[in-house]
């Protein structure tokens, strides 16, 4: 990693805001739901959906930390580890339960398998649980952004995909 000039860091922090990351996370969440609704007939059709949910969750958590004045560099140190992101976000005041942290740990352990072919058995969260976590993060973090005055560009909350089973 090269040394970055202070003005480059400042510009990067200006460009990568909590609101921007939140809106980007929303795009992944909505895309996962739309792809799920489409019920594509393909082998491994669930893998892209799961990955979109995972990445949306990661971006929501990063949005919260950026909104709490973490620098882009600070947020990047978590890489894609949503388990660590979730624990840090909870430590910074995000209202996540112990069950939410267990779900984030399972996501962290299974994320690679949604992106690459790996054989063998593994556990991953159900899509309903991923939708629910995205929904929770959307609600909690949008309230944080509203309290900070970011009300003019918040996205609309998506509807629950009909392809998912209500109530498990």
Confidence at residue 124, expressed as pLDDT on a 0 to 100 scale: 82
Between CA 82 and CA 140 the distance in angstroms is 16
Residues above pLDDT 90, as percent of the chain: 49
Between CA 84 and CA 33 the distance in angstroms is 25
Between CA 83 and CA 91 the distance in angstroms is 12
CATH architecture of 16-147: Up-down Bundle (1.20)
In this predicted model, what pLDDT tens digit does every residue of 8-53 receive, in sequence order?
A: 767 776 788 999 999 999 999 999 999 988 888 887 778 889 999 9
Burial class (CB in 10 A: 0-12, 13-18, 19+), 65: buried
Average pLDDT rounded to a whole number, residues 146-161 = 82
Confidence at residue 41, expressed as pLDDT on a 0 to 100 scale: 86
**Which range (54-63, 77-86, 102-111, 117-126) has the least confidence?**
117-126
Contact partners, residue 53, CB within 8 Å, separation at least 6: 28, 29, 32, 127, 130, 131, 133, 134
């Amino acid at each position: 990693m090269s040394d970055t000039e202070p003005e480059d860091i400042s510009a990067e922090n200006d460009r990568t805001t909590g609101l921007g990351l939140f809106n980007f996370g929303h795009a992944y969440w909505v895309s996962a739901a739309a792809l799920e609704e489409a019920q594509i007939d393909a082998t491994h059709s669930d893998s892209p959906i799961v990955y979109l949910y995972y990445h949306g969750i990661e971006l929501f958590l990063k949005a919260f930390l950026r909104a709490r004045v973490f620098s882009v560099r600070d947020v990047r140190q978590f890489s894609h580890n949503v388990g660590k992101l979730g624990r840090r976000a909870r430590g910074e005041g995000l209202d996540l339960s112990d069950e939410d942290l267990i779900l984030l740990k399972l996501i962290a352990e299974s994320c690679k398998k949604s992106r690459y072919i790996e054989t063998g058995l593994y556990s991953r969260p159900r899509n309903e649980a991923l939708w629910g976590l995205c929904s929770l993060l959307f609600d909690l973090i949008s309230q944080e952004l509203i309290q900070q005055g970011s009300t003019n560009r918040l996205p609309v909350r998506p509807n629950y995909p009909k392809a998912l089973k209500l109530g498990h």
